[in-house]
Amino acid sequence: MTGFIHRYEPATKAGSPPLLLLHGTGGDENDLLGLGEMIAPGSALLSPRGRVLEHGMPRFFRRLAEGVFDEEDVRRRALELGEFVADARKQYGIGAPVAVGFSNGANIAAALLLLKPDVLAGAILLRAMVPLSDPPKANLAGKPVLLLSGQSDPIVPATNSAGLAALLSEAGARVEHKVLPAGHQLSQADVTLARSWIGSVEAKAA
């Protein structure tokens, strides 16, 4: 395995898509397991810990300031994460996962979609921003993406999340973008919408 500390919970229900859980700044491999169980009961859960430390807090890539990313690092770390997912799929015998990322985890998931489209079956991006100012031309034909933004999010400007939705749509993804009456933190509405969206993705795949 490519050097990520991680947790793996095997599926308990056939036909549910595996989830790749990607935590926010300061989280770890245990952070989103509960969320994964709530939105896709019975799915296999693969949850790595980010390998970059910012003042001792794990993240998935470096940033230069809040909202300003070290884009070279974003690219390198996204490719490392893609290798980890490929190795984990072989080791655990799972299909391509749907990423569920929050904040920094959502940003690396968006970068992974743009840099290595085949790694993910889709993504739930919670409070995500545009990860790369000059992204490669990706082919996301038909890939389902749910983008949930907070109306009063102090970190992610509305224009940025709308730009991400447009960027992924232009690459061919089936993007559903909802702006919730929330800040940067997750709300019950995020859980409810994510669960119903995963159900619709499962139904289409069946």
> Annotated active-site positions, please?
103, 153, 184
- 184: which 2 tokens? 């940067």
According to DSSP, the residues that pair with 52 across neighbouring strands are 59
Give the Cα separation of 165 and 183 in Å (integer): 18
Give the Cα separation of 189 and 180 in Å (integer): 8
Beta strands in the chain (DSSP E): 6-9, 19-22, 45-48, 52-54, 57-59, 63-65, 68-69, 98-102, 122-126, 144-150, 174-180
With H, G, I as helix, E, B as strand and everything else as coil, classify residue 191.
helix
Torsions phi, psi for 159 (to 5 deg): -65, -30
Q: How many other CB atoms are there within 10 angstroms of residue 187's CB atom?
A: 14
